[in-house]
A and B are shown apart, each in its own frame.
Chain A
């Protein structure tokens, strides 16, 4: 087994544990945004699509590269934008909560989201 493959395996295995650990305490309300966010992150395949498209030199590789870049870019851009749209609303809600708190004349205590 080559050194490079060994390094890659190490990174792979450690990433599994990090991936599980990092989201182990996510509240239910964030399940959908989190799924959408991870969905955007695997759009990193765009890096791979660009690597294979860059060297395209035959009709087959041109078509493969073009389609791969289109699909991967859609994944990245759509993924991050749609996640932001969801989360934008969470922010709106917290501001709304604060505004209401102010109306009820409790201006000093900031509303802390759970």
Chain B
């Protein structure tokens, strides 16, 4: 590798680091993305001159780049904002798959007896890349609702996964110690793909963001391993940066849900304990439901209203209707704020993105710590399609699977209007005591329709 290329890679590495730094602050985030993309272009341009191309090589690279650009650009442009999480999963998965394939191709060059320094990173990249690919595809399918979002469990699941992992380890040792039996890494890849699927199946839809973040870190490490294999500094630096920051981000996300990473990955959350809690909750209790006119009057004559948006608002595309309601209320002198739980929506920060799309002013969005003390002074907490993030059992029911998760204190408001499609439990599959609270009025219906009805009711009041 000559000096010029190494220097170009260094510039690219600096771009990635600066890009990440800028991405950590709202003011500079967009520039951060450009900085990182610029680094990527430099790394790619610097790579080309050092290569000797075969004719076939030129053709497949051209075709590959054209197809990949079309798929990536169209996919990213067309996707609805609510479907962003599964899109990130998809793009992460293909990256992991690419890392595994690069390792396979490079290992093939060494024939039956690859030196240890080559074999070690390649098997690592093949295993981790394949797990990331298959796991991300399952995460995509769960979030896209191509398959059930609830955890899929069966007796002895952990043992089966353990055996799979052990089989992979055995293969790795065989490849490293004995020498590569022709195509043994194909079997290795297949096993790793199966493990990726088996690993994500028992994890519930609500926990998918944490899993995607973890698999994102995995892909980073697989890329770094491919970097060792190809002796390429750009791959090592960029892959490791993603591996390290992705791991930290994964931890931050599970912290925001008040749970340990181990509990997220192996707890089959929302399946085991949920049944018991739900039954106990439903016994002989009634809920109060209201109509648009009454609720419109209640809102119109309030002084402070706090809107708690959740995923239900996102799927109903109701963010614009919510802003409209906030606007008519503000015209009447009602103070309106939005309380954003760290994991509102399906990813941390997802709700902010959606409300930003509806041009909700930045000053009205308040994060949990900032807004939690304000609920007791609020006349109405208007819960739109949120559920688990306002469930008081996180605070007072030690047996509940979400016990310990920080929640919004919506139950402290003077009135609670709970807008929901039905009495069905939320994403985590747990019944919510707040619906049975005497201060709570349920307002059933699609979030967008309901909000539109409230807008006219407030105008009429």
Real binding pair: yes
Instruction: Write the residues of chain A forming the contact surface with B, with a CB cutoff of 8 angstroms.
Output: 2, 4-5, 8, 11-12, 15-20, 22-57, 60-62, 64-94, 96-97, 100, 111, 113-114
Q: Is the CB of A31 within 8 A of B361?
A: no
A24-B248, A48-B230, A55-B51 given; 8 more Cβ-contact pairs under 8 Å: A11-B240, A19-B20, A38-B246, A45-B95, A48-B235, A56-B57, A75-B91, A88-B30
Whether B237 and A11, one on each chain, are in contact in the complex, defined by CB atoms closer than 8 angstroms, is yes
Give A8 to B227 CA distance when docked, in angstroms.
9
> Is B64 an interface position by the 8 A CB rule?
yes
B422 contacts the other chain (CB 8 A): no
Contact of B223 among A42, A51, A53, A114 (CB under 8 A): A42
Nearest CB in chain A to that of B240: its residue? A15
In the bound complex, what is the Cα–Cα distance between A46 and B350 (angstroms)? 28
Complex contact A72–B91 (CB within 8 A) = no
- Chain A hits for B64, CB < 8 A: 49, 53, 65-70, 73
With a cutoff of 8 Å between Cβ atoms, the chain B residues found around residue A77 in the complex are 68-69, 71-73, 76
Chain A residues lying within 8 Å of B68, measured Cβ to Cβ, are 69-77
Contact B102 A49 (CB under 8 A): yes
Tell me the dominant secondary structure on chain A's binding face: helix
Inter-chain CA distance A67–B60, complex, in Å, is: 9
Q: Say yes or no: A91-B239 contact (C-beta < 8 A), given A39-B91, A42-B216, A96-B361.
A: no
Chain B 397-440 interface 0/1 with A at a Cβ cutoff of 8 Å (1 = within): 00000000000000000000000000000000000000000000
Distance to closest chain B CB from A105 (angstroms): 16
Let me know if A35 and B19 touch, CB within 8 A.
Answer: no
The answer to whether B289 has its CB under 8 Å from any CB of chain A is no
Q: Which residue on B lies nearest to A44, using beta carbons? A: B238
Q: Is the interface of B mostly helix, strand, loop or mixed?
A: helix
The size class of the interface chain B forms with chain A is: 35 or more
Contacts of A84 in B (CB 8 A): 30, 33-34
Interface: B363 (CB within 8 A): yes
CA distance A42 to B125 in the complex (A): 13
16 contacts between A and B (CB under 8 A): A12-B240, A29-B367, A34-B249, A45-B235, A45-B239, A51-B230, A66-B64, A68-B105, A70-B64, A71-B98, A82-B76, A83-B33, A90-B353, A93-B356, A93-B360, A114-B26
Q: Report the separation of the CA atoms of residues A84 and B215 in the bound assembly, to the nearest whole angstrom.
A: 21
Bound complex: CA of A29 vs CA of B428, how far in Å?
22
Please state if A36 and B367 are interface contacts (CB–CB under 8 Å): no
How far, in angstroms, from A65 to B350 measured CA to CA in the complex? 35
A-facing residues in B228-255 (Cβ within 8 Å)? 228, 230-249, 252-253
**A33-B349, A42-B242, A93-B361 known; A62 and B72 CB under 8 Å?**
no
Q: A46 to B20, alpha carbons, bound, how many Å? A: 19
Which residue of chain A has its CB nearest to the CB of B239?
A42
Specify which chain A residues have a CB less than 8 angstroms from the CB of B32 in the assembled complex.
37
| Contact (Cβ within 8 A) A78 B26 | no
Beta-carbon contact of A82 and B236 below 8 Å = no
Bitwise, B84-104 to A at CB < 8 A (1) or not (0) is 110110111011011101101
- Measured CA separation A29–B348 after assembly (Å): 6
A79 touches B72 (CB 8 A): yes
A54 touches B359 (CB 8 A): no
